[in-house]
Amino acid sequence: MRILFLLLLLINTTAKAQSDTTFYNTVKDSIVTKFNRGDFKGIYAMADSGFKAGFSEPQIVGLLGSAGAMGRILSSELISEEKDHRSYRLIFARKSLQLTLSVTAPASYNSLGLSYYKLPVVRTRQQFLSDNPLKTQLDSVVQKAATIYMSNKNVAGLSVGILLNGQMYIYNYGEVKKGEGRLPGANTIFELGSVTKTFTGILLANAVLEGKAKLDDDISKYLDGNYPNLEYNGQPVRLVHLSNHTSGLPSMPKLTSGEDPFSPSTHFTPAMLADILHHVTLDTVPGTRRAYSNFAVGLLGIILEKIYHMSYEQALKKYIFDPYHMQQTQISLSPDEDRDVATGYDLEGNPTTYWQNDLAQAAGGIRSTTHDMLLYIQQQLDPRNKAAQLSHELTFGDVNKGTGLNWGVMTTKTGRHLQWSHDGGTDGFTSLCMIYPGLHAGIVLLTNNGDHTDDSFYDIGRSVYKSWLH
């Protein structure tokens, strides 16, 4: 689950930044101290009037709260120093974020940005395992793009799946586990991360088609307890809002106990869900502003369990895995099973544990293979699959850049083809699924590398698509 892609860069440059080192260190240290205390309003209060004119306190508090789900900032280090801003790496227990600042006084800033920390890629690897036969133009296109990605010394393995006019092509690179010399295969299991959300969208679409639910249902209909706070100016959060990221719910909420509800070590309970929902404060009418929310999709999964009267994984198996013949795809992994499961590695190349959390299931809990994901793409392209087709229909935005039921829906800038897509990532895995109905084609990329910022990974998919334009 790509649960840490949470903050957009926020910049307001109405005042000239001060380059004094003392000013910067004072502001940065104050932000870190307040962040670790959970004093997000205090961080907002440090902004100058120009920044506050562009961003409201609830916006910034919500964004900082999402980052707060990662826990305390353990340390920080200077990354770069420019004339009008400086960037720092904020190091948390599992992840790092990048803080970008422009300061105007010893205790004030006029721009503040939080984004993923992007580790400089060291492209020193020259040799790696591969099963690419290098016989066709497609083979060559994949090889060229994959070679750039695999040159990153921290990348372990990569599997590329392509569906074109009903024909499947699979290319594998690197290792399932570092040092074992074993190439990934068509049935090697990877974590999908947020690509899981598209499965959740199809389950919602199926529930609508079966008359079990309506997209405009008030979510309170499916919640135990009373939540008058889950509306704004009389407009409630609806099921469709959970699926297109316009609910206004936070992405990574914290429990009042301070626990991270998405942590693999947290046993998520109904009481924890009530705790989170009772502390939600909406700041706009649901359905009017898109802000990516892992929690919203996790909540949708819990609601779907009530709608279907079965667990989320049971619903997946009944309505997607079995009908699509996705025999290697599941959420739970038993230690007794003899499965070809890839070992995940974080952005710095260290092995990670597998992701498992009840709240995370519908937002990023599925594990799958390249072969199964090509079967999944095949079903998305089948006009007879009414639930899949409904999940692709726009519910927010327009055809240039919009959202269906958890699918990104857009028209490509080159070629002007309709594209349904989603990417994803967990601590040790990154994934990408892109489908082009006009070309009757799709691409899936799976890697056991948790660096979600290496553009050369996504360039593999873009290169394959562009090769179809000639």
Q: Is it the case that residue 4 has pLDDT exceeding 90?
A: no
- Residue 26: φ, ψ to 5°: -65, -45
| Residue with more model confidence, 267 or 377 | 377
Q: What is the mean pLDDT of residues 37-42?
A: 90
Token pair for 353: 């544990």
Residue 202 identity (one-letter amino acid) = I
Token pair for 214: 């309506």
Angle at 159 between CA 153 and CA 164, to 5 degrees: 140
How many Å from the N-terminal Cα to the C-terminal Cα in the chain?
A: 35
Model pTM above 0.85: yes
Q: Is it the case that residue 69 has pLDDT exceeding 80?
A: no
Dist CA 240 CA 204 (whole Å): 9
Please answer whether residues 69 and 83 qualify as being in contact, where contact means their C-beta atoms are separated by less than 8 angstroms: no
Please answer whether residues 145 and 456 qualify as being in contact, where contact means their C-beta atoms are separated by less than 8 angstroms: yes
Q: Which residues contact 470 (CB under 8 A, 6 or more apart)?
A: none
- 328-356, pLDDT tens digit by residue? 999 987 665 667 999 999 988 899 988 88
- 433-453, pLDDT tens digit by residue? 999 999 999 999 999 999 988
Among the residues of 8-104, which ranges form H helices? 21-37, 40-45, 49-54, 57-68
Angstrom CA distances, 162 to 56, 131, 353, 433, 436, stand at: 44, 15, 28, 10, 11
Dist CA 86 CA 139 (whole Å): 43
Q: What is the mean pLDDT of residues 100-127?
A: 87
**Nearest residue to 156 (alpha-carbon basis) of 169, 144, 141, 173:** 173
Token pair for 60: 């910034």
Q: What is the model's pLDDT at position 296?
A: 97
Q: Compute CA 136 distance to the chain's CA centroid, rounded to the nearest angstrom.
A: 33
Dist CA 251 CA 114 (whole Å): 15
Residue 68 parent element (H or E): helix 57-68
**Nearest residue to 223 (alpha-carbon basis) of 278, 283, 146, 178:** 278
Q: Compute CA 369 distance to the chain's CA centroid, rounded to the nearest angstrom.
A: 18
Q: 22-31, 126-135, 193-202, 437-446 — which is least confidently predicted? A: 22-31
Residue 95 parent element (H or E): none
Q: What is the mean pLDDT of residues 353-369?
A: 92
Q: Is it the case that residue 8 has pLDDT exceeding 60?
A: no
Angstrom CA distances, 392 to 349, 374, 383, 414, 421, stand at: 36, 17, 11, 21, 10
**Nearest residue to 355 (alpha-carbon basis) of 347, 346, 366:** 366
| Residue with more model confidence, 273 or 5 | 273
- 191-242, pLDDT tens digit by residue? 999 999 999 999 999 999 999 999 999 999 999 999 999 999 999 999 999 9
Q: Which residues contact 163 (CB under 8 A, 6 or more apart)?
A: 169, 374, 377, 378, 381, 441, 442, 443
Q: What is the mean pLDDT of residues 42-61?
A: 90
